[in-house]
């Protein structure tokens, strides 16, 4: 398990094997979440990357006859 060190500017470097396996790009944004004594970095997904994620979902709304 790779370890990281916090710099004097409170920065860390994500190890290369993790960056490559998760396809992390320079400038990519993450949300930092604290769980007790642990920190998780969750990638922020852009609206553009979410395009088409609901493809195939039934969007038809069934209405009462008096509402049409």
Domain edges within the chain: 1-46
Of the candidates 10, 58, 5, 1, the one whose C-alpha atom is nearest the C-alpha of residue 32 is 10
The pTM (predicted TM-score) of the whole model is: 0.61
Segment 52-64 shows an average pLDDT of 77
The reported pLDDT for the residue numbered 50 is: 67
Q: Rounded to whole angstroms, how far apart are CA atoms 11 and 57? A: 42
CATH code for the structural domain at 1-46: 2.10.260
d(CA 15, CA 13): 6
pLDDT at residue 60 greater than cutoff 90: no
The yes-or-no verdict on residue 61 having pLDDT over 60 is yes
């Amino acid at each position: 398990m790779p370890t990281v060190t916090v710099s004097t500017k409170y920065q860390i470097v994500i190890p290369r094997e993790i960056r490559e396996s998760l396809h992390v790009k320079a400038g990519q944004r993450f949300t930092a979440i604290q769980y007790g004594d642990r920190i998780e970095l969750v990638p922020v997904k852009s609206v553009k990357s979410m395009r088409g994620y609901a493809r195939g979902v039934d969007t038809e709304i069934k209405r009462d006859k008096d509402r049409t």
